[in-house]
Amino acid sequence: GAVVSQHPSWVICKSGTSVKIECRSLDFQATTMFWYRQFPKQSLMLMATSNEGSKATYEQGVEKDKFLINHASLTLSTLTVTSAHPEDSSFYICSARERTGTGLLYGYTFGSGTRLTVV
């Protein structure tokens, strides 16, 4: 089945630094990738939609200058948390949809997530 690889699985950074998270579709092409954030004991919150070759679309309340998304190829999207602060500490998850998928919801595959801790 489709596999989405997310790296790193966890990262600790100092306040004020930037962190990059990679999301790769390993065996399929993904026109669209999605980034979610999940705080402890809460549900996933969609942050942005990443479209290959174009600008990302951010959900309301998500700072696009803080969470930089780049989708340079059909298999790679990156999320950069700039000038990270402790309140950015969270679990970040990406998902991807196969380009040639039937469109059914099960066409979405999730990465394993990245635990970001800002100290």
Partner 1 sequence: LAKTTQPISMDSYEGQEVNITCSHNNIATNDYITWYQQFPSQGPRFIIQGYKTKVTNEVASLFIPADRKSSTLSLPRVSLSDTAVYYCLVGVSNDYKLSFGAGTTVTVRA
Nearer to partner 1, 38 or 82 (CB): 38
Instruction: Tally Cβ neighbours within 10 Å of residue 84.
Output: 22
Residue 75: CB minimum distance to partner 1, A: 17
Residue of 111, 92, 100, 109 lying closest to 48 (CA atoms): 92
How many Cα atoms are found within 13 Å in the side-chain-facing hemisphere of 54? 8
CB 17 within 8 A of CB 84: yes
Residue 49: CB minimum distance to partner 1, A: 7
Buried b (16+ CB within 10 A) or exposed e, 35-67: bbbeeeeeeeeebbbbbbeeebebeeebeeeeb
Residue 112: CB minimum distance to partner 1, A: 5
Nearer to partner 1, 82 or 117 (CB): 117
**Residues found near partner 1 in the complex (CB under 8 A):** 4, 6, 32, 34, 36, 43-46, 49, 91, 93-95, 97, 102-106, 108-113, 115
Nearer to partner 1, 62 or 82 (CB): 62
**Single-letter residue type at 3:** V
Nearer to partner 1, 44 or 68 (CB): 44
Residue 88: CB minimum distance to partner 1, A: 17
